[in-house]
Structure 1
Amino acid sequence: MSELRKSMGGVVGTFVALSTILGSGMMILPGTSYHQLGRSAWMPWAIAALSVVPLLYCYAWLGRRYPAASGVAHYSEVALGPATGRTSGMLATFALVTGIPATAITGGRYLAEFSGAPALAWAFPVVVLAAGTVVACLGANVSGKLQVTLLLGLFALVVCTAVIAIGSHGPAVPSTSLPGFSALGTTLTAVYVAFTGWETVAFTFEEHKSSDAIPRIFAASYLVVVALYALLLLGLFAVVDSDDPTLDSAPLLILAERALGDLGRPVTLLLVVATITANVCASVLALSRLVFGMARSGYLPASLSRVRERDANPVTSVVAVGLVLTVIAVLGALGLVPFEALFVVSGGVYFVLYGVGAAAFAKLADGARARVVSVLCGVTVVAVTLLAGPPMWLCWALFAVVLIGTTLFDRRRQVSRR
């Protein structure tokens, strides 16, 4: 059985996690939440940040004990059976195949709008996906080091821009007035997307030198993500009124222009390029590992489980993933695939996989702490599912349909073998 080489250290692993989590949501969600709730916008962010902690604990625990390329597919198979494992793997693949092109298209639209070059709307997604594929072909370590460089630049730009905005305009005190329940629920559902991605990070765990570092990687990346979003929100509070319509389309641009003047536009474009490139590179790497793991388990063609001898890199799965993602990105950029549907489907399925991971943890972990964490996860999953409404319910229904179909298929195959 082919195995991936354990070459990724804790620092690189942390930056890979950050690259996976910080995506297009960073460019839009702080602005839309502020536009909807005013200075009470910090509330859904705080709720999402706190409620995701038990789910991250589950994935850190599972990753440390079961570091496999197929991530949640492996965890759920060990805990809940082959049918659940295969269903989780199929839906994880589906979520990434829709989510990664959507992120690339978002970057292309941003660049096209603010550079005055409409061709970038389709050209940037193609270029960044091709770059992500090439980097993944070079190996996890090369990809990780590139992401370290991109994210250090990103952090410097975000921190400097937000600090200058707050310092030059004066800090604005967040509001303590509670928004309406419906508005809070709708915003919370959208904001939760900013705290997904750790389940995708799990697909790289097989390549970590030490699985004991995984909980520290989760903790460090979580703290950095929370700090960056807090800075962006506080920066927006300081420089712009909540009724400004620009918040729904270009919050980073208005923040940078108010803080840096004429430098605002080029800084924004650099932020977009760095964020999207790092996220796409990390996500292509993660998806190729998931496809490799699914093929190794017999759920996808065996050719996708081949690895290159000199570095144990699954290049076949990397190239296959890159080609599929590029085709979907082109179709989406040209309007032949509904762009909004890509985000809705991928975000909902990501959250379903959080729930599946929590269920696997509840089955595999013992002790009082595990029971408390499992209860907290259950409350979070049910609450967010109810608040999200029909789109989220549809994703759970999709999981149920695929699980039933997979179970029936497995039973028929077992009967035919007899």
Structure 2
Amino acid sequence: MYELKKTLGFFSGTALFLNIVIGAGLLILPGIVYQQVGQDAIASWILVSLISIPILIIFTILGIYFPNSGGVTYYAEKAFGNIGKSFATLLLLGAVVFGLPSIALTGAYYFSAILPFQYHFYAALLILLPTLLHLFSGKHISTITTAISSTVIVFIIILLFFAIRDTQGIEAVKLPHINNNIFDLLSPFMIIFFAFTGWEIGAHSAEEFKNPKRDFPIAMLFSFLITTILYLTVAFLVQQEENITDPLTPFIGILKKSLGDKAVLLVSLLATLIVFANLFGAIWGVSRLIYSLSRDKIIPKYFSLTNKQGTPIYAIILANTALLFVLALDYYNFLSIESMLSIAGQNFLILYGVASCALFFLSKKLLFKIISITVVLIMSIIIIFGGVFLPYPLTILIISYVINFTGNKN
């Protein structure tokens, strides 16, 4: 069987996107940003979230008009042919295969604070458990997705309640300096922007929505709003706390006022749960990309086989194997978490540019073309001035040409 089941609606789709997008960065990034820009932190978060909206719109439009499990690779193929698809596929595979193990390691670091042990073992469990859920959940997958996301959100809200309870009130909000210019506010752009990545993975699920034209954009919008509100809330709380000793764990310091030493346990549990949810959603998206590549005969068709519930089991197993392999490379010191995040980050940036260019060529509507040009300009500025090693995407492009040439020759 080669068909995915249409199991997602508005609630389950929103839950899936939240699982993919909300990561342990929720508890880390606001502290790092505050350390860099101080009282300007809230303004920086608001500004970057506004800049992210056109990117979200790009993937929403593409998902509505071109719902396909291939996601951005499918959009690149429709716009630029096989070379475009190869280019996007290599970038996306590189982003997720190196990015997801780093997320698993982050969760493992937190969990080892509760129960000390080899953190690579915990990271492997955080990859294996979501994989097993996907393999054996079948038709109940949308229910499980909603349950995981709901648990994470409820947990976050409860901890935020305790944190907000001890603030001095809205009148005490520290506002940014009026004299600071927009370039100062954008200085932590790359750090904040990492919080708004993930919808490109969610785009792979568009084909599984029961009503993609109605529910897919609503799920995108609501997940973006919820994510933005959560990050702004944590950023606000960090900004009110004057005695943050460790910018990587600001939430622990904030909660110690209310919960004492229990704050370490609760925040560690929350971080582990967030990472689990993040990996659960991301493995879904990666397996659908592998399924799409197999269905299109780019990789062996074996990986497009599904079970009776429409689950691409062999694609999920392949995704799991690749993630565990990269984790093993880190264990044997062939990689580091910093290098994994660096590869993943620049790949995502370039992919946003690819998706924007694809929309420009695929759409005949002037408004959509204006939006795509806007995002291409934003991504180009970030790529040029954001430290991306330009020979890297050029190398990927050359490899794409080689793949396409070899395929045509055969």
Q: Tell whether the structures are fold-level matches, with TM greater than 0.5.
A: yes
Q: What is aligned with 2:301?
A: 302
Q: Given residue 207 of structure 2, which amino acid in structure 1 is its aligned partner?
A: E
1:407 aligns with 2:401: yes
Select which of 215, 226, 229 maps to 1:227: 229
- CA separation of 1:133/1:229 partners in 2, compared to 1, >3 Å: closer, same or farther? same
Rounded Cα–Cα distance in structure 2 between residues aligned with 1:41 and 1:301: 48
Contact kept, 8 Å, 1:165 with 1:239, in 2: the verdict is no
Offset at residue 408 of structure 1 (A): 4.1
Rounded Cα–Cα distance in structure 1 between residues aligned with 2:144 and 2:265: 21
- CA separation of 1:125/1:85 partners in 2, compared to 1, >3 Å: closer, same or farther? same
Rounded Cα–Cα distance in structure 2 between residues aligned with 1:99 and 1:140: 26
* Cα distance per residue 1:34-56 (max 9 Å; x no partner): 11111211232112211111111
Q: Given residue 249 of structure 2, which amino acid in structure 1 is its aligned partner?
A: A
Offset at residue 261 of structure 1 (A): 2.3
Contact kept, 8 Å, 1:140 with 1:285, in 2: the verdict is no
Q: What is aligned with 1:365?
A: 363
Contact kept, 8 Å, 2:62 with 2:359, in 1: the verdict is yes
Offset at residue 265 of structure 1 (A): 2.0
- CA separation of 1:141/1:383 partners in 2, compared to 1, >3 Å: closer, same or farther? farther
- CA separation of 1:287/1:376 partners in 2, compared to 1, >3 Å: closer, same or farther? same
Q: Given residue 93 of structure 1, which amino acid in structure 2 is its aligned partner?
A: L
Rounded Cα–Cα distance in structure 1 between residues aligned with 2:104 and 2:251: 17
* Cα distance per residue 1:300-330 (max 9 Å; x no partner): 222212212x112110111111122123224
- CA separation of 1:361/1:374 partners in 2, compared to 1, >3 Å: closer, same or farther? same
Rounded Cα–Cα distance in structure 2 between residues aligned with 1:302 and 1:265: 47
Q: If the length of structure 1 is used for normalisation, what is the TM-score? A: 0.91
- CA separation of 1:238/1:65 partners in 2, compared to 1, >3 Å: closer, same or farther? same
Q: What is aligned with 2:292?
A: 293
Q: What is aligned with 1:125?
A: 123
Q: Greater shift after overlay, 226-235 or 170-179?
A: 170-179
Matches within 5 A, 1:351-390: 351-389=349-387
Q: What is aligned with 2:260?
A: 261
1:99 aligns with 2:93: no
Contact kept, 8 Å, 2:86 with 2:400, in 1: the verdict is yes
* Cα distance per residue 1:245-277 (max 9 Å; x no partner): 411x21232222234324312221221121011
Q: Given residue 45 of structure 2, which amino acid in structure 1 is its aligned partner?
A: W
Offset at residue 399 of structure 1 (A): 2.9
Offset at residue 140 of structure 1 (A): 6.5
Q: What is aligned with 2:271?
A: 272
Contact kept, 8 Å, 1:126 with 1:330, in 2: the verdict is no
Q: What is aligned with 2:217?
A: 215
Structure 2, unmatched stretches of 5+, are none
Q: What is aligned with 1:42?
A: 42
- CA separation of 1:179/1:386 partners in 2, compared to 1, >3 Å: closer, same or farther? farther
Rounded Cα–Cα distance in structure 2 between residues aligned with 1:140 and 1:362: 37
Q: What is aligned with 1:19?
A: 19
Rounded Cα–Cα distance in structure 1 between residues aligned with 2:25 and 2:275: 10
* Cα distance per residue 1:90-123 (max 9 Å; x no partner): 22111111111100001111222x326142x122
Q: What is aligned with 2:110?
A: 110
Q: How many residues of Structure 1 are paired with residues of Structure 2 in the alignment?
A: 406
Q: What is aligned with 1:188?
A: 189
Q: Given residue 402 of structure 1, which amino acid in structure 2 is its aligned partner?
A: I
1:160 aligns with 2:158: yes
Contact kept, 8 Å, 1:150 with 1:278, in 2: the verdict is yes
Select which of 347, 350, 364 maps to 1:349: 347
Contact kept, 8 Å, 2:138 with 2:309, in 1: the verdict is no
Q: Greater shift after overlay, 37-46 or 332-341?
A: 332-341
Rounded Cα–Cα distance in structure 2 between residues aligned with 1:64 and 1:376: 20
Contact kept, 8 Å, 2:83 with 2:400, in 1: the verdict is yes
Rounded Cα–Cα distance in structure 1 between residues aligned with 2:73 and 2:401: 15
Matches within 5 A, 1:321-340: 321-333=319-331, 335-340=333-338
Q: Given residue 343 of structure 2, which amino acid in structure 1 is its aligned partner?
A: V
Q: What is aligned with 1:74?
A: 74
Contact kept, 8 Å, 1:86 with 1:299, in 2: the verdict is no
Rounded Cα–Cα distance in structure 2 between residues aligned with 1:409 and 1:333: 31
Contact kept, 8 Å, 2:356 with 2:373, in 1: the verdict is no
Contact kept, 8 Å, 2:111 with 2:269, in 1: the verdict is no
3-state SS of paired residue (1:5): coil
- CA separation of 1:286/1:313 partners in 2, compared to 1, >3 Å: closer, same or farther? same
Rounded Cα–Cα distance in structure 2 between residues aligned with 1:141 and 1:43: 43
3-state SS of paired residue (2:246): helix
Q: What is aligned with 1:149?
A: 147
Offset at residue 183 of structure 1 (A): 6.0
Q: Given residue 93 of structure 2, which amino acid in structure 1 is its aligned partner?
A: T
Q: Given residue 122 of structure 2, which amino acid in structure 1 is its aligned partner?
A: F
Q: Given residue 200 of structure 1, which amino acid in structure 2 is its aligned partner?
A: I
Q: Given residue 21 of structure 2, which amino acid in structure 1 is its aligned partner?
A: I
* Cα distance per residue 1:126-156 (max 9 Å; x no partner): 1111101101113575444333223323222
- CA separation of 1:141/1:21 partners in 2, compared to 1, >3 Å: closer, same or farther? farther
